[in-house]
Structure 1
Amino acid sequence: MTPASAGLTEQEAGRRLAADGPNELPAAGPRRLWQIALEILREPMFGLLLAGGAVYAALGDLVSGVVLLAFASLSVSISIVQEIRSEKVLDALRAMTSPRALVIRDGRSRRIPGREVVRGDVVLVAEGNRIPADGVLLEARELLVDESMLTGESVAVAKRARASDAEGAGMRPGGENIPAVFSGSLVVRGTGVVLIQATGAATEIGRIGKSLASIDAATPRLALETRRLVRLFAVGGLLASVAVIVTYGLLRGSWLDAALAGIAVGMAMLPEEFPLVLAVFMTMGAWRISQARVLTRRATAIETLGAATVLCTDKTGTLTRNQMTVQECVAVDGSDRAQLLRWAELACVPEAFDPMDRAIAQAASVQTEGRSLVRGYALSADLLAVTQVWRVPGEARLVVAAKGAPEAIMDLCRLAPDAAGSIRDTVEALGTRGVRVLGVAHGVSGEGPLPDSPRGYTFQWAGLVGLADPLRPEVPGAIAECLAAGIRVVMITGDHPTTAQAIAREAGLPADTVVTGRELSDLSDAALRERVASVGVFARILPEQKLRIVEALQARGEVVAMTGDGVNDAPSLKRADIGIAMGGRGTDVAREASSIVLLDDDFGSVVRTVRLGRRIYDNLRKAMGYIVAVHVPIAGIALLPLLTGLPLILLPVHIAFLEMIIDPACSVAFEAEHEEPDVMTRPPRAPDARLFSASMLAGSVLQGVAALSVTAAVYLLAVQRGMPEEEVRTLAFFTLVLSNLGLIVANRSFRGHPFDFLTGGNRVLLGIQVLTIAFLAATVTVPSVRRLFGFGAMHWDDVLMVALACTLLALTLALLRLARRTWERTSGRRFKTHS
């Protein structure tokens, strides 16, 4: 043991632990219940919902106020439960215990928690150990380390001991044959002695984690739209109230009555359903996607993912399994795959931890009982091959097997130039497909003294074994669906360009152009913005370069989704519009930086979430269109008697009844609507598309005017016939309610048949229709209910009048839908889904 490896004293280690702090990354503590509730209540949707309820209560409409506040409380409660569930799942994912470390203290080895490792500690590492902190190797024996969590490259890298005291400083992860090791990486073969140089936030992992604090997460576009809608309708409602007050005051001369009329119309026009709809849609969306084992840490991220125009994905562990398997076997003439794998398995270290050795052993599936290892020859700088000598039952002589770099194995076999040239051609062909190739040889030996080097044996060429990290089976289909939906998929990986290009082609990604990290570092921000428009694969990319790529895409106006699982992915996950982390094998840092976590690491879940996001946005627009449309006849019928002096129609109980239809219809019923048939075959909506566009407003107002015209016609006709006030109110209210049901159906599908007034499998809508008609019937047949509503008797000629009026409205709404589609075809624009 070298003098430096005698380790620290316990006293000195304690002093450094107190000075530097524990060897762990700083993490925010779990959010308390009141903190979660406060964050939710800060959202405009909930603020408007609660404010609307308070306004109703203050104006004396306690029924509407209590109903609205009850809806607000229910929505807030559901969202709090969803947030708490997210926190608990993340806590469970973090619950893996801190790895322990074998350190030298006071000249003796002892095992301590990884968080107690300090600068200057000497740590012993072996196969299966996690490196507890950044350090330099004092000793290394056949040391192979998997740094994919930091670099994104699936192939483990070899390490060596430092040649001088100064060597090792300033090195970065991913380097082959360097003396530096890094916190969180996994030893897959060999042993080593590490002198710790950095712990906690000072490590390479800590540096990445610390950079997250300086990265602003993208604001969800739906949140921006919500704030815009709140401002728009607040101003619109105020202007409408002022207009009514001025008009009524000038016409009637009573400004007190004018003020009351203005408040009443303002209440009738107040679109308190907007925040209710947004709250319910986001909460239900989070619940629906959780059924597919996708955790949403921010509910609005689901809708945002539906608007994604670019999906940036890591390769290792995201598109691939991060698990080496045997892909190719090229056996020598006269041999077969099974025999070649048997020789390759004999060349592996017993009970290997190396991913390639484990893959070969699994593919070989040979009986290992009874055999014993006589001698092993490790990989060396002058011979990149591993050789094992075995005593095998049934074999008269010792069996020798070797595997390693094809050139090294060919050298051991002393192949003729022609044979070696043919093998090199095969190796090169496999390499272009991203396959890592090993040569395999075998021989025999007597029981006497064994040679000091593998070169002392006589070997025969056995063949080539090709290994690769295979593509996940669901990936090609998921990527094809993304491309059909107009979502561009870009691979960003730390792996070798050839491997990345091969995987991209297998997955169905455009891979003609590959940009490496070295080329990217030479590009200015402006040049990179131009380059990202056409590049499908980025290889040998550093963590900070992933962030630059995401920012360059966003600078082009793209809505960027980013998938990943490693610490190196965390900055770009946080900066992307939607960060998607792998929950099963993903690191804590990646999960904390993301807004969506795939609990089963299924890449296909990304596509399912995109589909759900688009469905949510479509149905949200349908609900919004309905809300605007339905408030036109309500406001008009509330205003008409004030302007004409005719009998009042809408009393507080009528408004409360209408709210019982409108609120569940615009929230739950529209949320339950099926997706449109073209949901995954149309391009993403434009990044600057408005949730509530001018064309949508015009269409909704036209629908509302149609409903108002029919209701007003029935009302005026009843007045003209000299019917009692109670009967006039009954006919007008029945027409208004049935017109409301017509507006629901008219807005429930963008692509349905113009005359389709069926529920189409929407059980919620069917329930609303049945209950509404049943309750309407009760208002004229049950005396106590009829008195509450101020209704009169309903005669058969009255029923016929209402039926004819509603039939006329249905035809008018269907013709409006037909006209809209005709305009879409001729103008090449989408009125609702893409406007």
Structure 2
Amino acid sequence: MSYHIPGHLKGLTDSEVAASRKQYGYNQLDAAPKSSGLLLLIDILKEPMLILLIVISFIYVAVGDYGEAAFMFAAIVAVSAISFYQDNRSKKALEALEKLNEPLSRVIRNSTVVDIPTHEIAVGDLCITEEGKIINADGRIVHSNDFSVNEASLTGESFSVFKDSQAEDNQVYSGTLTVSGLAVFEVTKIGKETRIGRIGESLLTIKAEPSPLQLQIARFVKTMAVIGIVIFLMVCIFRYYQTGDFIASLLNGLTLAMSVLPEEIPVAFTTFMALGAWKLMQEGIIIKRSSIVETLGSTTVICTDKTGTITENSMHLIALYDFRTDKRYGDDAFNDPELSTLISYAMWSSEPAPFDPMEKTLHSVYEQTQPNDLRGDYRMFHEYPLEGKPPMMTHVFENARKDRIVAAKGAPEALLSVSRLSAKEKERVRDQIKAFAQQGYRVLGVAKSQFEGGDFPEKQQDFPFEFLGLTVFYDPPKKGIKDVFQRIYEAGIAVKVITGDNADTTNAIASQAGIVSDAPPVNGDEIINHTEEELMQLSARTTLFTRMFPEAKLAVVNALKKRGEVVAMLGDGVNDGPALKAAHIGVAMGNKGTEIAKSAAALVITNDDLGKLITGIAAGRRIYANIKKAVQYIISIHIPIILTVSLPLFLGWVFPQIFTPVHVIFLELVMGPTCSIVYENEPMERNAMQRPPRIMTDTFLNGRELTISIVQGLVITAGVLFAYQLAVQTGGDEAKTRTLVFTTLIFANILLSFVNRSFFYSVFERLRSRNRLLTGITVLVLVILFAILYVAPLSRFFDVTPLRVTELGICLVIASVSVLWFEFYKLFRRKRHTLPAQARLAHDGSEKGA
């Protein structure tokens, strides 16, 4: 982008930047303390499971059982290593996201305009700010062009203030928003020394609110912890009453407490969310908070802008309508002298250094068609920014001879309302507008005026305008956008188009893009006049919202939210800020989005591709489904461990202590990676994006899902206890019985991890969706199991005996019957729910968001 910046503004040199940084530091607040490796480790050692292991280890040391103690200490290292690995992955993923979310700032250095990370701004830098940008340091204006700033973040006043280098108040402040024009300011304060920095330091102590899913999981884990304490006390008391051996009773109780604690679940949740956000970042989707991933999968309505989101934002000038001759001109006739005035004033009404595609096109056409390029002779003298309902903008230019050009462009209705035309003439122009708009063209009106003196009207609408004609742009729908909307509709998500364009153009483009609209478009002015109840009904039945302004956009988003919809709002402009902030998921465009839009949004799509939002929604559904699978797996496999430890004791069976802490911790070491590593890597299920979104207010595990997991766990328990009794009845001693029970439970655990990959599709179908981590963990567990069974030192340590092939076969058969019965349940469900009716799955309490 080119800027008209005076040549004397050179900026700092590299050596001056280094000197400034040495004296004043970086442009950042004292960051909230990062989780160092040591802090992560300390947090891990505070976990209840690790505390239990440490207690058990010291008990073994106290009674002189050093082998068991050494194993427990090794288990502490292993559990800590797994937790540290997961926490560190999450930490690095979140730090990468944080780094990517940092905005860039434009500065002049070594006489060159460059973009740098905001934290690298140095005292003395010359920063450039323009419309829609957030100012990122305190400073003094040294050059400006019709510059105004909104300082509401500091003063609370919502109106904008015009400033320049000669004004009494020529200071700008970090955190404020550039409303119009351009300014170059010399940085005087950075980081915590800025005005907002002194406020911002207090923000470091504010913790983010936990999401509904986090709260539900926390409640579940606390409930399990309470149950664990109760069972621990029961077992201790009961065992002590039986034996009078306090140490043995304590070890029994601690063993059972370990089997109850579902410490894998919080780790899994953090891992799934952080890594989900990191993987989306690699796809070009930047997420501000990892918890937003869970909300993505619940999206029910997408509110999207038209220009640059649905369309290419190429803005080809396809036609001109000259009012004076009442003629249309195609793009092959722009050199016609009759069009000289219309083209000139269309260009003059644009920014001198254009960044909007339409304005760039107008400058290009002016350059190609006008024999005399006067842009170097005139400077912008006064500017009225884009405003009004519908909007328009006006520029006043002046040359050295004090000749003036007053040019305006904007929505045709806005220009017609301020021009001196008869009702018949206005109707003639409206016919032209309608004809163009019905073909999907974007139409702007152009007008000119004359004004002498310096006492400009307060409002641009007060100029006496002469209407010149229409500029007609075609911004075609993006290639493949029809497929994108088809996928959105298949996912059960509604689409609303919220745009500043007129109804006819929007209707035509929506039709070309494959957007379904059965109701007439609604204009922004109509929105404001409705009651809350009326607006809720209107927002539900209407697809196309046109001539929208910030208050109207915000009203529609709030109405949809009150209806219980989960709203994703796509926007790119300053005016989209309130709606982006209000939506459940504010989505900003990375290329054409203003900094205020990116700041207000929770998610940024780097390449402006709407299809990426579908990728994000699919990821949200996959992650939520996988968290549920992980938790259901944990519940199902904990039940047989708990009951195998407790029932032989309470029922007075011959071998009351079939498992010791050694066996339980080995099972925990198997379950941890399966839960938090394997299921995180689980691919999305087929047809997951052909189901309606889950209802966000639903409980994490509904009654039916919890019942299924409990039943799975109880059936596995029955199988394991059958193995126990089978061993006893065939004359097996305690070691043989323990071996059969332990091996059966390991086999059942492996089979369960495969079966629970889907609660709808068969285990064989899911094998087509490869999960290499699951295969790797399975092989590793089997290798360790066989080592325990057949390597003498390990067998003695675990107090097990080698099994014959027939005995291994018995264990495998029992485990298979205990787990694979669920495949018949899934078969029954598939027969009951034929594929076209799978949408019902989201409402019958099963696989919501899977």
Q: Same-fold call, TM > 0.5?
A: yes
Deviation at 1:491, TM superposition (A): 2.6
Structure 1 residue 715: Cα displacement: 1.8
Q: Distance in 1 between matches of 2:713 and 2:703?
A: 15
State the 1:312 CA deviation: 2.3
Structure 2 CA distance, aligned partners of 1:62 and 1:195?
70
Provide the rounded CA distance (Å) in 2 between the counterparts of 1:294 and 1:477: 19
SS in 1 for 2:303: strand
Q: Secondary structure at the match of 1:710?
A: helix
- 1:712 Cα deviation from its structure 2 partner: 1.4
Aligned pairs for 1:252-267 (under 5 A) are 260-267=251-258
The separation in 2 between residues aligned to 1:661 and 1:604, in whole angstroms, is 39
Quick one: which amino acid aligns to residue 340 of structure 1?
A
Q: Of 681, 703, 711, which aligns to 1:672?
A: 681
Structure-2 change in CA distance of 1:295 and 1:426 (3 Å)? same
CA distance, structure 2, for counterparts of residue 119 and residue 282 of structure 1: 39
Question: Corresponding residue for 1:488?
Answer: 494
Residue 284 in structure 1 maps to residue 275 in structure 2? yes
Give, in whole Å, the separation in 2 of the partners of 1:680 and 1:113. 44
1:121 offset after TM fit, Å?
8.9
Listed as ranges, the matches of 1:483-522 within 5 Å are 483-507=489-513, 508-510=515-517, 512-522=519-529
CA distance in 1, matches of 2:678, 2:567: 31
Q: Is the 8 A contact 1:342 1:364 kept in 2?
A: no
Match of 1:775 in 2: 784
**Partner deviation per Cα, 1:746-803 (whole Å, 9 max, x = no partner):** 1002332266584742111111222222222222332222223222122233123223
Residue number among 31, 46, 49 corresponding to 1:52 in the alignment: 49
Tell me the residue number matched to 2:7. Answer: none
Classify 1:630/1:373 alpha carbon distance in 2 versus 1 (closer, same or farther; 3 Å): closer
- Distance (whole Å) between structure 2 residues aligned to residue 430 and residue 183 of structure 1: 41
Q: Which letter does structure 2 place at the counterpart of 1:56? A: L
Shift of 1:267: 1.1
Give the superposition deviation at 1:614: 0.6
Deviation per CA, 1:382-428: give whole Å up to 9, x if none: xx999xxxxxxxxxxxxxxx999999xxxxxxxxxx99999974543
Does the 8 Å contact 1:241/1:265 carry over to 2?
yes
The residue that corresponds to 1:834 in the other structure is: 848
> Per-residue deviation at 1:522?
2.4
| Structure 2 residue 823 is matched with structure 1 residue 789 | no
In structure 2, the residue matched to 1:636 is: 643
Question: In structure 2, how many angstroms separate the alpha carbons of the residues matched to 1:768 and 1:117?
Answer: 51
Q: Does residue 62 of structure 2 align to residue 69 of structure 1?
A: no
Conserved? CA contact 1:632–1:708, under 8 Å = yes
What is the identity, as a one-letter code, of the residue corresponding to 1:774? V
Q: 1:259 to 1:574 in 2, by over 3 A?
A: farther
Q: Distance in 2 between matches of 1:231 and 1:385?
A: 63
- The one-letter code sitting in structure 2 at the alignment partner of 1:596 is L
Contact 2:106/2:128 (<8 A) preserved: no
| 3-state SS of paired residue (1:466) | strand
Amino acid at match of 1:34: P
Distance, in Å, in 2 between the alignment partners of 1:674 and 1:814 is 20
Preserved CA contact (<8 Å) 1:133 1:196? no
Aligned-pair CA distance for 1:548: 3.5
Q: Which of 457, 462, 466 is 2:472 aligned to?
A: 466
Q: CA deviation at 1:28?
A: 10
Q: 1:80 aligns with which of 70, 91, 97?
A: 91
What are the equivalent positions in structure 2 for 1:122-137 lying under 5 Å apart? 125=145, 131-133=147-149
CA distance in 1, matches of 2:722, 2:256: 20
Alignment-mate amino acid for residue 281 of structure 2: S
Residue 97 (str. 1) matches residue 88 (str. 2): no
**In structure 2, C-alpha distance between the alignment counterparts of 1:59 and 1:120, rounded to whole Å:** 65
Following superposition, the deviation at residue 529 of structure 1 comes to 3.0
Q: Distance in 2 between matches of 1:606 and 1:269?
A: 40
C-alpha spacing 1:52/1:475, structure 2 compared with 1 (3 Å): farther
Distance 2:45 2:305 in 1: 40
Question: SS of the residue aligned with 2:641?
Answer: helix
Matched, 1:299 2:313: no
Number of corresponding residues: 701
Structure 1 position 630, deviation (Å): 0.7
Alignment of 1:319-358 (within 5 A): 319-327=310-318, 339-343=332-336, 348-349=343-344, 356=358, 358=360
| Pair 1:692 & 2:701 matched | yes
Amino acid aligned to 2:488: C
- 1:357 is displaced (CA, Å) by 6.0
Compute the displacement of 1:620 (Å).
Answer: 1.4
**Could you say which residue in structure 1 is the equivalent of 2:752?**
743
SS at match of 1:486: coil
In the alignment, is the contact (CA less than 8 A) between 1:759 and 1:765 conserved in 2? no
Please list every run of 5 or more consecutive structure 1 residues that lacks an aligned counterpart in the other structure.
1-26, 101-110, 136-169, 173-179, 185-192, 379-383, 387-401, 408-417, 441-462
Q: Counterparts of 2:239 and 2:829 in 1: how far apart (Å)?
A: 36
Query: Residues 310 and 791 of structure 1: is their aligned pair in 2 closer, same or farther, counting only changes over 3 Å?
Result: same
Number of the residue aligned with 2:33: 34
Q: Tell me how far apart the structure 2 counterparts of residues 117 and 724 of structure 1 sit (CA, whole Å).
A: 77
- Residue 740 of structure 1 and its aligned partner are, at CA, apart by 0.4
1:813 aligns with 2:813: no
Cα shift at 1:594? 2.6
Distance 1:28 1:545, change over 3 A: farther
User: Which of 579, 586, 589 lines up with 2:593 in the alignment?
Assistant: 586
Q: Percent identity?
A: 30
Length-normalised TM-score, structure 1: 0.70
1:196/1:539 CA distance change after superposition, 3 Å: farther
CA distance in 2, matches of 1:725, 1:673: 39
| 1:88-132 CA distance string (max 9 Å, x none) | 2233x32323899xxxxxxxxxx996679999999763xxxx835
Q: 1:716 deviation in Å?
A: 1.5
638-647 or 357-366, which deviates more: 357-366
Aligned residues of 1:310 and 1:559 also touching (Cα < 8 A): yes
Question: Does the residue aligned with 1:533 lie in a helix, a strand or coil?
Answer: helix
Q: Judge conservation of contact 1:567–1:590 (CA < 8 Å) in 2.
A: yes
**1:227 to 1:87, Cα distance in 2 relative to 1, 3 A:** same
Q: Which amino acid aligns with 2:498?
A: I
| TM-fit CA distance, 1:81 | 1.9
Q: Cα gap change, 1:183/1:658 in structure 2, threshold over 3 Å: closer, same or farther?
A: farther
1:718 corresponds to which of 722, 727, 738: 727
| 2:53 counterpart letter in structure 1 | Y
Please state how far the C-alpha of 1:542 moved relative to its aligned partner.
3.6
Alignment of 1:163-174 (within 5 A): none
Between the aligned partners of 2:728 and 2:168, the Cα distance in structure 1 is: 95
Superimposed CA distance per residue, residues 453-473 of structure 1 (whole angstroms, 9 cap, x where no aligned partner): xxxxxxxxxx98621444443
Q: Aligned residue for 2:576? A: 569
Deviations 1:363-396 (A, max 9, x none): 899699xx65599999xxxxx999xxxxxxxxxx
Shift of 1:268: 0.6
Give the Å deviation of 1:742. Answer: 1.0
How far, CA to CA, are the matches of 2:732 and 2:138 in structure 1? 92
- Asked whether the equivalents of residues 55 and 65 of structure 1 are also in contact (C-alpha less than 8 Å), the reply is no
| Cα displacement (A) at 1:683 | 0.6
Distance 1:678 1:366, change over 3 A: same
Q: Please give the secondary structure, in 1, of the residue aligned with 2:220.
A: helix
Contact 2:629 2:757 in 1 (8 A): yes
Q: After the TM superposition, which residues 236-255 of structure 1 pair with which residues of structure 2 at under 5 Å, given as runs? A: 236-242=227-233, 244=235
- Counterpart for residue 542 of structure 2: 535
* Shift in CA distance, 515/680, structure 1 to aligned 2, threshold 3 Å: same
3-state SS of 1:563 partner: strand
What is the CA-CA distance between 1:436 and the residue it aligns to? 4.0
The alpha-carbon deviation at position 275 of structure 1 amounts to 1.0
Pair 1:58–1:467, CA change in 2 (3 A): same
SS of 2:479 mapped into structure 1:
coil
Cα distance in 1 between the residues matched to 2:582 and 2:488: 21
Q: CA deviation at 1:627?
A: 0.7
Relative to 1, partners in 2 of residues 1:268 and 1:36: Cα closer, same or farther, differing over 3 Å?
closer
Give the TM-score taking structure 2 as reference length.
Answer: 0.69
1:316-465 superposed matches below 5 A: 316-327=307-318, 339-343=332-336, 348-349=343-344, 356=358, 358-359=360-361, 425-433=431-439, 435-437=441-443
493-502 or 214-223, which moves further after superposition?
214-223
Q: SS state of the match for residue 760, structure 2?
A: coil
